[in-house]
Amino acid sequence: MQVRELWRYPVKSCQGEMLQAMGVTPYGPFNDREFMVVDEGGNFLTQRQHPVLALVKVQITSAYLAVSTEGLGKVLVDLTTRFYHTRQVRVWDDICTGFECSPEADKFFSTLLGKKCYLVRQVQSNPRVRRPSALDHDIRVSFADGYHFLVISTGSLEALRSCLPADVPNLQKRFRPNLIIEATAGIEGCSRTLQIGRQVRLRQVKPCSRCGIPDINPETGERDNAVGPTLHDHWSDNEGTTYFGNNYIVERGGVIRPNDEVTAT
pTM of the model: 0.95
pLDDT at position 186 over 90: no
Q: Quick one: which of 249, 212, 252 has its CA closest to 232?
A: 212
CA separation for the pair 246, 177 (Å, rounded): 9
Residue 48: predicted pLDDT: 96
Q: pLDDT tens for residues 203-222?
A: 999 999 999 999 999 999 99
pLDDT at position 164 over 90: yes
Confidence of residue 84 (pLDDT cuts 50, 70, 90): confident
Domains and CATH numbers, the chain: 2-9+131-264 (2.40.33), 35-126 (no CATH)
Residue 33 DSSP code: T
- Partners of 254 in the beta sheet? 24
Residue 6: predicted pLDDT: 98
Residue 8: predicted pLDDT: 98
Q: Give the pLDDT mean for 12-23.
A: 98
Residue 87: predicted pLDDT: 94
Q: Report yes or no: 196 and 188 within 8 Å, Cβ to Cβ.
A: no
Q: pLDDT tens for residues 109-134?
A: 999 999 999 999 999 888 999 998 88
Q: pLDDT tens for residues 227-243?
A: 999 999 999 998 989 99
Instruction: Say how many C-beta atoms besides its own lie within 10 A of residue 251's C-beta.
Output: 14
CA separation for the pair 100, 87 (Å, rounded): 7
Residue 218 identity:
P
Beta pairing, strands 117-122 & 35-39: antiparallel
- Phi and psi angles of residue 261, each rounded to the nearest 5 degrees, phi first: -70, 140
Q: Quick one: which of 158, 82, 62, 153 has its CA closest to 123?
A: 82
The H or E element spanning position 202 is: strand 200-209
